[in-house]
Amino acid sequence: MAKRFDRNPKLTYPPECKELNEELSKDELVKRLKMLAKAFQDLGQDENNEYKELALYLASEFFMDHSSKDVRLLVACCIADIFRVFAPEAPYTETEHLKEIFLFLTEQLRGLSDPDSPSFRRYFYLLENLAWVKSFNICLELEDNQDILNGLFKMMFEIVSDKHSTKVIGFMLDVMCPLLTEADIVSQELLDIILACILEPFKTQRRAAYNLARDLIRRSSSAIEPYVQTFFSNALMLGKTSESDLSDRLLDLIQELNGIAPSILIGVLPQLEFKLKSADESERMSATRLLAKMFSEPNSDLAMLHKPLWSCFVGRFYDIDINIRRLCTQASQEFIVNHPELVQDVSGSIGIGEHLRHRQHDSDENVRMDVVQAIVGASKRALANVTDDLLECVKERTLDKKFKIRKEALVGLGQIYKCCCEANGSDLERLTWVRNKVLHAYYHNAVDDKVLVERILNTSLVPYSLEPAERMKRLYLLYTNLDKHAIKALQEIFRTQFGLRNLVRTVLDIHQKGESEEVNQMLSAKVVQLSRFLSEPTKAQEHLKKFVGMIRDDMKMRGNLLKLVTPGCSCKKAEDYVKEIIRKLGNPVPNNFLYTNVKQLLERIAPVMIDGSAVMALASHIREIMENKDGSEMDSHGASGSDDSLESGMNLLLMLSNVYQSCFHSEDVYRCLLVFVKSEVDSISDIALQVFKNVGVSMEQMFPAIHSILLPILQKMAKSGTPKQAKHALRCIDAMCKSKDEIFRQLYEHLKQNMKHDSPNFLTSLVGIGHLSSLRPSLFVSSTEDLVNTFIKPELLSKDRTIGRKSNESWCQEHLVSEETLAKIQGLKLMVRWLLGCRTAGNKASSTFRLLYTMILCEGDLMEQGNINKAEMARLRLQAGCCMLKLAQEPIFADAIRLEQFETMALLVNDPCYEVRVQFVQKLHKGLLALRLPLQYMGVLCLGALDPLKERRAIVKQMFVANVTRRREYLKQNLTANSNKIFTLLPDYVLPYAIHLLAHDPDYTTYDDINALKGIKDCLTFMLDPLLTKNENISFNFYKKMFESIKQRKDVQCVMSDEANKKLYAICDLALTLISAKSSHFSQTEFAAEPVLPKRLYTEPDLARPNTTVYLPSEFLTGQASKAKKLAAVSSSSAKASEIKKKTTSAVLHDSTKVRSRIESLDSSISSNPSSPVSSTKSSPHGLSERNRTSLSNKLHSARAISKAQGGGKTFSPNDDIERYKRGNSNSRGESSEEDVESSSLSHRTGKKSAKSTSGSKKSAAMANQPAVLAKKKKPSSIASSGSATRTGKTTQSKILDFVKRASTRGKGRSESLDRTSSADSSVKPASTDFEDEEEMEADEEVEENEEVVEESEVESEEDEKEKKEAASSRRRASASNSQSSSRTSTQGKKASATVSKKQTNVRVTTKKAISDGNKASKKKGNSTEAASLKRQRDSSQESSSLPSSSVKRPKSRNLSNGTSDGEEDESSGSGKRGKTTALPSAVLRRRKGVLAIKRREGAAARAAQKYADFEVPVGIITPKKKR
């Protein structure tokens, strides 16, 4: 504490200083203290000894606690000087006293807070003195000094302000810095006081304190670094947050310290890695935000200094929390701008750019939006730092599924492009793709995207605010650098705006008609049309109706709108008109939807880019470029004078002439166009002629001088110009001149004289005459007809005067095409134009179609002499197809095209030449989209599914979808068409046409051709997907009825061909299967109308005989379809069972007598001549060969099977067969032994015949060995194994011969003969079997035919199961009886009969067990049997002589690349069933086979083997296949 002194102590004072005591008044005391303070200021350190007591007195309680602040201030100044005078030993030795003194001095320094105070100079002196002497350092020696230091620092931060000078701030720092740098320890409380001043609110609200603390930290960073690191370590790692008040603001402190003194955090930053990996999302978020700011700050090198921490930070781009991922992407903008080196990979770690590319595919739309905003924002600030990969990310987001992201990306790209154009920098070359990408977005279906592209075009790509000259330079630069897709989009933009202006003008015209119900209906219809061009059309209709009402009531608004849509409106006035109209719609607030919708409409119709002055500026700009094209670049926009650039500029003029005709009505514009017409570049001249044709309608009246100059030029070009020039010149004359007939006559006569092969203007004459016939048919049709009949067809098209150049290329450029081929192409076009002028479809059209059809059939070489190379042939057949499409656009000619001609033309979609496919489909799509081609031609697009190129398939499918959408939209907009033309417009009715076309596919030869059906399935899916998608009125029942209705009809093209109709039905089943798979997505309600099928393709339905048969192979059947097929087979088989049995029984009984007698003769022959080999194929002495004997034995075996099934209870012997049959014993069941049952079951294990067997092969099949009388078709494996009718295990035929052998040898032990018999029997071929009389042959044929009927049934009904089992048992017993009868010994017959009677009860049990075991074995085999069956089929092909059906070879297919043959493939001819089918020529088959070669696998035999590899189905029972 301060010492107490007497009131009047005796002290030594400096000279001229008076005594100080407590009795002095305040003013006197102040006066004396001032003198004393001045005296102390002048004292040196050597004069301090005598004033020690005075120093102690001044530090007494009286002065330090005095009520006057002036007294305290002066005392403080004196004490400060005392510390200076007595330094380094202060006169104050007591600790408590020193503490009181320093606290007193600290309190006095608070007077520095007001720099405007009169005493501030003395406070400043006090501060300066303390700082200079470092008096406060004395307190560092005190044990309890924290109160002093904390108070001093806190006071300094509180009083500092912006009013203080740098000197004051400097002295403050001089006071505080030594206290930190020289202190033994810095307490946490003092550290908190300092660090708190660099955080909020000091940072923003008390900036002076923040700056003081910042400077203090920087000066003492090395001193406080360990304490700061300890503080952060305790808080971050150990979680000791109670030791500091700033523990909850650690990350903020780190951020600020990093900006102030980064060296302090060298040991702290690595500890943040634990925060980044924390399980708490808030901690990860805070740490990520902190590091994002620290790493991205300018001149920060933390990423290089702390690479592990950097790697951990970039890992937060993949954090599970969306907000953290968003934070990282948002911070990326600063990284790109401030640290471009971090965008790329940094020393092995992945850079920011790669992480952004990953985040652009984030599942959250906000993250994707942040990526776009970060890259676009960085591009605006520093485009040079943005890599091409990052710009590619923005490019990809223009295709995002969310509109707001697409909008952000497109607008951002537009702004970047605008900035580059304004800066005229080199970065513009990097952004050439931006123009194309923005315009490509116009292909999106959403109206919002289209409106957005138009807005970007007018604000960024070609800003409407620019002057006309500059604006047109931008437009020229834009257009000349666009790709073809972007050019089409730009053309569509101008065309849409033009159509909208016309629609609004129509609405205004309707208003002029007054008010009536009819007018209101017309206005409502137009409002509906307008709403389709706005966002959310349904909601927009209401607002547009309100706007239409405002127009009716407000004359001024209506006038402004009329001026806005009037041709010739200038850009400046259009902008003013829009502002005037919008001003009356209210404030632009979010809920004002009327304002939003009308503003959007006005934006689309306002001509703010093109007007008369703009067209003049553009034409002048192009003219300047053309005149200076040999020089360098014209301007800073990169406009060059190359021919390609000029041609693009002329195309721009042509595009504008189609939309803004009135803007070209200027003499200056016309004179510029005259210069272009006279250009030596043919392409520029051609385009200029087209522009004149569009805008020169009123030229003769308005600008006669220009007309008089142009007309002679046009006449000259029509006579001797290029074909294109002649074409456009004639059209110009037709558009410009009123009296043109005489001009056309003169031109026609001149051109007709040049119709010679050696004429230099031969091609021009062909083009000119064709167009004249089309433009003026009344004048030139008859003359042109004579020319066609006398010259074009017989001389030009039917003769090859030259031999083309040798080339194996499938296509070539036009300049490489020979003159003769070009002439033939123009000749074909001439014929088409002539027919279009005739408008009659008589013999003229028929002969023309036949010629075009033949041209396609011959692949372009009409004469087939080989004088034309492949490339020119491709052009000729392409032109022939295009001519047919052109004529088909007229209804009168569309009906004249025959079906086979149409089908042949359709195959051009799958032409081997790529260019032919592309151009033909483009022509087809153009006609369909314009609704000029019939709906039948839309079905041709389904063949695009067979294109070998995936890209082409996708393009053709897009075309099909566009046509579906176009027709549906047309029906919506034209409601009156729904009742009259729905069958010709509704896209769903394309299915009957497509099914008919696919049924006549040249590769689809049989209805069960699996490989062909796979391709047809692709075609059907190709069509059904777009038809079933986004169809509001879709009905499953409608499609089902349509396909079922086709199945009740026949193909008009080949009514009598069963095979052709089966192909049609199989495709219908396939279509039903496809839509059934999607039936859960369909509406099950009935359609409003019944499907109507084209009578040109299908006959009337046969309702009396429902067609419920499923013709589709089982490979394509789903569960329901397969069940339906089985039920259909069951219903048909049960009806045939009894009839088949009766026919088979009568046929066998007819032969029974002869069979018995011949077997007896055989036995006697063997008995008489035991040495003769039984296996010999020669005839016996009785004239019966071994094979015939075997056949007859099997007949007897079959007869016995039937007899037992109908009336025999015993086993019949050969002696009483006929008598037993005559008596007709019945009502009892035959029996057989287990051994005989097993033998019999082996004889009935058979399979189906090949599906391609024809009726022509039935006779030869009936002459085959007869053990197969009651069996079904053979499996390929059976055919391959032995060549006999029954070749599984030891056959029944060989067993019969064993019995005969044993009977003939009488037990003499000749086993070697039995072996020879078996081997000889296996070599017998059915085709070589002969019968001795015609009756036997007829009986065999009848039995075989009956059995083939049985073969059609695959599954028997459950109701007849008992009857089937009985029939099977009968066949087994018949086999046993046959074996016994062949022995011809009564003893063996008696024993066999006894054996049968003993084991009678086991027959049924044995049969059921065999069936059950066989079915289980078949299921276990699974798909493994397919490969085995294919192998057996290949083996069976070596024994072709055993197959009676004839075969023909397919034509060679053509390879797509070079048209070469790629192999042959066998197929059954099927002449008996398909005799009346219209067969396409081999040339078409070869070309089509080349396209479909990649979709074909195996032949018909392999497919049959695969189909029947698991089961063999004999009559009445399903017997599983048994392994050999």
pLDDT tens sequence across 239-283: 666 677 788 888 888 888 988 988 888 888 888 898 899 999 998
Complete DSSP assignment for 305-327: H-HHHHHHHHGGGG-SSHHHHHH
Predicted confidence at residue 1168, as pLDDT, reads: 44
Report the alpha-carbon distance of residue 892 to residue 235 in Å, rounded.
Answer: 92
User: SS in 3 state form for 798-810?
Assistant: CCCCCCCCCCCCC
CA distances 877 to 761, 863, 1075, 1505, Å, are: 25, 13, 37, 40
Report the alpha-carbon distance of residue 276 to residue 288 in Å, rounded.
Answer: 7
The vertex-50 CA angle with 44 and 54, nearest 5°, equals: 95
Predicted confidence at residue 1361, as pLDDT, reads: 53
Predicted confidence at residue 1518, as pLDDT, reads: 31
User: In 315-337, which positions are buried (b, 16+ CB within 10 angstroms) versus exposed (e)?
Assistant: ebbebeeebbbbbbbbbbbbbbb
Q: What is the pLDDT of residues 21-33, one digit of tens each?
A: 888 888 888 888 8
Number of H helices, E strands in the chain: 69, 4
Between strands 1511-1512 and 1448-1449, the pairing is: unpaired
Report the alpha-carbon distance of residue 1290 to residue 1284 in Å, rounded.
Answer: 11
User: In 1325-1359, which positions are buried (b, 16+ CB within 10 angstroms) versus exposed (e)?
Assistant: ebeebeeeeeebeebbbbbbbbbbebbebbebbee
Q: Record the tokens describing residue 1237, joined without a space.
A: 């049952």
Whether residue 350 contacts residue 366, with contact meaning beta carbons closer than 8 Å, is answered with no
Q: Record the tokens describing residue 795, joined without a space.
A: 């001389």
DSSP 1448: E
The vertex-493 CA angle with 489 and 499, nearest 5°, equals: 135
pTM of the predicted structure, to 2 decimals: 0.67
Report the alpha-carbon distance of residue 435 to residue 395 in Å, rounded.
Answer: 11
Report the alpha-carbon distance of residue 801 to residue 778 in Å, rounded.
Answer: 33
Predicted confidence at residue 1273, as pLDDT, reads: 36
Report the alpha-carbon distance of residue 180 to residue 199 in Å, rounded.
Answer: 20
Residues 6+ apart with CB under 8 A from 333: 373, 374, 375, 377, 378, 381
Ranges of residues in the chain whose predicted pLDDT is under 50 = 1, 631-634, 636, 638, 1131, 1135, 1145, 1147-1149, 1153, 1155, 1159, 1162, 1164-1297, 1299-1359, 1375-1412, 1414-1524
Q: How far is CA 306 from the centre of its chain?
A: 44
Q: Record the tokens describing residue 718, joined without a space.
A: 């029509």
Helix (H, G, I), strand (E, B) or coil at 660: coil
> How many Cβ atoms are within 10 Å of 1142's Cβ, its own excluded?
12
Report the alpha-carbon distance of residue 686 to residue 264 in Å, rounded.
Answer: 77
> How many Cβ atoms are within 10 Å of 465's Cβ, its own excluded?
11
> How many Cβ atoms are within 10 Å of 364's Cβ, its own excluded?
13
Whether residue 442 contacts residue 492, with contact meaning beta carbons closer than 8 Å, is answered with yes
Helix (H, G, I), strand (E, B) or coil at 889: coil
Predicted confidence at residue 43, as pLDDT, reads: 81
Q: Please report which residue ranges of 277-398 form alpha helices under DSSP H.
A: 281-296, 302-305, 307-314, 322-338, 352-359, 365-381, 388-397
Backbone angles phi, psi at 64, to 5 degrees: -75, -25
Helix (H) or strand (E) holding 1519: strand 1519-1520
Predicted confidence at residue 333, as pLDDT, reads: 94
Predicted confidence at residue 153, as pLDDT, reads: 94
- CA torsion sign, 429 to 430 to 436 to 439? negative
Predicted confidence at residue 1405, as pLDDT, reads: 42
DSSP 797: I
Q: DSSP E strands: which ranges in 943-1001?
A: none
